Amino acid sequence: MTDLTNLTIAEALNGLKSKNFSAVELTQAHVQTMEQLRDLNVYVAETPDIAMAAAKESDARYASGDAKILDGIPMGFKDLFCTKGVHSQACSNILKDFKPPYESTITANLRGDGAVMLGKLNMDEFAMGSTTELSCYGTSINPWKGPDGKDRTPGGSSGGSAAAVAARMCLGSLGSETGDSVRQPAAYCGVVGVRPTYGRCSRYGIISFASSLDQAGPMTRSVEDAALMMQSMSGHDPKDTTSVNVDVPDFSAGLGQDIKGMRVGIPSDYILDRTSPEVAAAWESARKMMEDAGATAVEISLPHTKYALPVYFILAPAEASSNLARYDGVKYGARVEGETLEDMYINTRTENFGDEVRARIMIGTYVLSAGYYDAYYRKAQRVRRLLAEDFKAAFEKVDVILGPTTCSPAFPVGAKTFGKNQGENDDPLGLYMEGVLVNPSTIAGLPGISLPTATSAEGLPIGMQLIAPAFDEVTMFKAAQVLEKQANFTAQPDLSSWQKAA
């Protein structure tokens, strides 16, 4: 029998429709893999009972001919998504034991379309981080290993979501991206990760970090699979005032078509000192692959690129300091008693937020405080407009933009910090720089996709990103699938060393 955990979503749907295997068998195979690979610390809550019950319902629908578009597909969801009655903690101690009385719109859409929830996935606390090391459950491990044998980071904040897909612990997962939190881990784990246009998918029920930037995104092992998940996830939602009321196109409409005459923008501003030669070479070959497929490469300039991260590290902490004010020990989550109400607030927040979250709340509070609001927050909002205008001008000349996703492949766990340890590896701005190539398009609200196109000399995956104009995911998927085909990335992590008898 085929290895059921090694299928794409599209292949699994075909197998289910043809009755080659059942949804129960498909789910069982994944539950078993989850048990065998627990050392990767990818799932923070496993829900096999919920999964098996859902799989049985899927099988009944296949039997009666009423199957839905994702019926029987086993998925994992980042712990940031509220799932009714099920662990939803944003991997923070302050939401200890929180079980939401409601379901996020996106998980409701996916589950309503037949997706089978396997469990909740590890992440940096409140999505603030780039390695999953800042999770209250400890770091996840990237299933890819270099020749030195050191554990590699899966990236973050959606590191659990990326590693789960790479390690065959689900067929697809949900991540979320406020800066680069879908595309960076996708690149490090050799999977496909998509950021939809801001407003394309509802944010209702996603535990908020920075509301003007947060967007959910699918993570899969093929471009086609990401388009399938997006189809279910997208659409206007009256419960999210920032979800945009536009028609949802058929995201697969451009798949299988050629890209002859497509203009692919190559931003010279994405060549940075910190970009590794291997990544630069992979970018160059990706460009050639697209040219070989009939596209025309066009040099473009995005002159405000270097200001994207400073804009991000003003806006995101500012919005976070406001969003995280709700954690006060009264309504849900942890409480640490105090003599007065204010003591209770302070004790609860001090003991239950991690150091990085607390630091970002402090920075956000400072830049929003009286006397500094215009100098920091307003200034960042103005430069944000200039960044958006850079892209607007570029998209008058090109249809998509091609760049590397990250400056290097995945680094060893613990190699980079946020400046907490004063050790030799300390680079206070090191981890803050992770999103340098992705955050500009995030800030502009544009859709983007990262896919693996090469491996490094050490055998680690290298990811490329394609950025499209707002609400033109159809072109993004079309271009990405051509690049995927040309790159023919077939390498897989060796899971044998992680496997333990279930």
Q: Which stretch binds other proteins (CB under 8 A): 74-82, 93-101, 123-131, 291-299?
A: 93-101
Q: Does 310 bind other proteins (CB under 8 A)?
A: yes
Cα–Cα distance for residue pair 111/61, rounded to 1 Å: 14
Report the nearest approach of other proteins to the CB of residue 196 (Å): 12
For other proteins, the binding residue among 6, 280, 366, 456 (CB under 8 A) is 366
Q: What residues numbered 464-493 form the site for other proteins, per CB under 8 A? A: 470
420: left (phi over 0), alpha (psi -120 to 50) or beta: alpha
For other proteins, the binding residue among 76, 160, 445, 469 (CB under 8 A) is 445
Cα–Cα distance for residue pair 196/199, rounded to 1 Å: 8
Point out the residues that are catalytic. 78, 157, 181
Instruction: Pick the closer one to other proteins by CB: 66 or 389.
Output: 389
Report the nearest approach of other proteins to the CB of residue 471 (Å): 10
Q: Which stretch binds other proteins (CB under 8 A): 132-140, 186-194, 219-227, 376-384?
A: 376-384
- Contact pattern from residue 382 through residue 421 relative to other proteins, giving x for each residue in contact according to CB under 8 A and a dash for the rest: xxxxx-x-----------------------------xxx-
Q: What residues numbered 326-365 form the site for other proteins, per CB under 8 A? A: 328-335, 337-347, 349-350, 353, 355, 358-359, 361-363, 365
Cα–Cα distance for residue pair 425/423, rounded to 1 Å: 6
Structure tokens belonging to residue 133: 């090391």
Cα–Cα distance for residue pair 399/306, rounded to 1 Å: 23
CB atoms near residue 250 (< 10 Å): 10
Report the nearest approach of other proteins to the CB of residue 352 (Å): 10
Decide the pairing of beta strands 461-467 and 448-455.
antiparallel
Burial of 215 (0-12, 13-18, 19+ CB in 10 A): buried
For other proteins, the binding residue among 18, 64, 245, 488 (CB under 8 A) is 245
Cα–Cα distance for residue pair 116/90, rounded to 1 Å: 21
Cα–Cα distance for residue pair 162/220, rounded to 1 Å: 8
Report the nearest approach of other proteins to the CB of residue 241 (Å): 5
Reference 184, options 7, 385, 403; nearest CA is 403
Q: What residues numbered 187-226 form the site for other proteins, per CB under 8 A? A: 198-199, 212
- Contact pattern from residue 257 through residue 296 relative to other proteins, giving x for each residue in contact according to CB under 8 A and a dash for the rest: ----------------------------------------
Tell whether omega for the bond before 202 is within 30 degrees of 0, i.e. cis: no
Reference 263, options 391, 394, 441, 400; nearest CA is 400
Cα–Cα distance for residue pair 436/442, rounded to 1 Å: 11
Q: Does 45 bind other proteins (CB under 8 A)?
A: no
Report the nearest approach of other proteins to the CB of residue 46 (Å): 21
Report the nearest approach of other proteins to the CB of residue 336 (Å): 10
